[in-house]
């Protein structure tokens, strides 16, 4: 693949390779939704028990770290869009909610024919490596735009929080529906009352630390460092 020097002509498939290469070079294990001739070294994941054919672009294994919390060897599912137009952001937003809903209703992710738990569904774009989601955000200096213990770009900050709010709404709706006998029977025991519900959010490079991968997730403290785990 040619070096990505311009940011106005790359296909979604090229952006997927770009993000996957960035994460691979950072030491993460990367898994594709289908065999990738361009990146045969990537692993493969599959999704079962879904009605729609859509699935995330990549699943990545690493560690989540925040404050005094460390989650080792977790799997994060990533939806990747180009990030040049508003509709890229909107489509990525919708896709994350679709995958999250499917997971609540029993979608099963597998690697090497073994089920895995998805810790988070996150949205990324070509511009994630620059610290934001939408191309036009590159015109802004993040310092002081969003006050708090982090630097953040305006649309990226807003999209992450909208995703978090929608997660809460979807979980409430799911919990209400699952007490209905017909719905409970449809689930057929695939979910337990104590299931671990994944987080949702976005993946970007941390604006203030160019080598850190940041996940802005729906779990307190909300901003998590994503690190490569020992294989």
- Whether the per-residue pLDDT at 49 is higher than 90: the answer is no
pLDDT of residue 2: 42
In a domain, 3, yes or no: no
In a domain, 1, yes or no: no
How many domains is the chain partitioned into structurally? Answer: 1
- Token pair recorded at residue 192: 């337990």
- pTM confidence score: 0.88
- Whether the per-residue pLDDT at 60 is higher than 60: the answer is yes
In a domain, 93, yes or no: yes
Q: What are 184-195's pLDDT values in tens digits?
A: 445 544 454 456
Q: How far apart are CA 152 and CA 12, in angstroms?
A: 24
- Whether the per-residue pLDDT at 178 is higher than 70: the answer is no
Query: Which range marks the domain in which residue 77 is found?
Result: 12-227
pLDDT of residue 189: 46
- Whether the per-residue pLDDT at 13 is higher than 60: the answer is yes
Q: What are 84-111's pLDDT values in tens digits?
A: 999 999 999 999 999 999 998 889 999 9
């Amino acid at each position: 693949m040619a070096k990505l020097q311009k940011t106005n002509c790359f296909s979604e498939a090229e952006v997927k390779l770009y993000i996957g290469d960035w994460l691979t070079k950072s030491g993460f294990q990367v898994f594709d939704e289908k065999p990738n001739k361009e990146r045969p070294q990537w692993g493969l994941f599959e999704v079962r028990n879904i009605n729609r054919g859509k699935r995330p672009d990549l699943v990545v294994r690493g560690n989540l770290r925040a404050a005094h919390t460390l989650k080792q060897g977790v799997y994060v599912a990533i939806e990747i869009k180009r990030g040049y137009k508003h509709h890229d952001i909107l489509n990525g937003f919708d896709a994350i909610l679709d995958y999250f809903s499917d997971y609540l209703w029993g979608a099963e992710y597998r690697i090497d024919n073994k089920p895995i738990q998805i810790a988070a569904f996150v949205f990324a774009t070509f511009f994630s490596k620059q610290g934001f989601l939408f191309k036009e955000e590159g015109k802004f200096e993040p310092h002081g735009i969003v006050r708090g213990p982090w630097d953040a770009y305006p649309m990226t900050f807003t999209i992450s929080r909208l995703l978090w709010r929608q997660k809460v709404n979807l979980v409430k709706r799911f919990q209400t529906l699952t007490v209905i006998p017909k719905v409970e029977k449809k689930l057929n025991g695939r979910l337990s009352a104590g299931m671990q519900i994944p987080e949702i959010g976005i993946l970007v490079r941390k604006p203030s630390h160019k080598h850190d991968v940041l996940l802005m997730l729906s779990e307190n403290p909300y901003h998590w460092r994503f690190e490569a785990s020992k294989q």
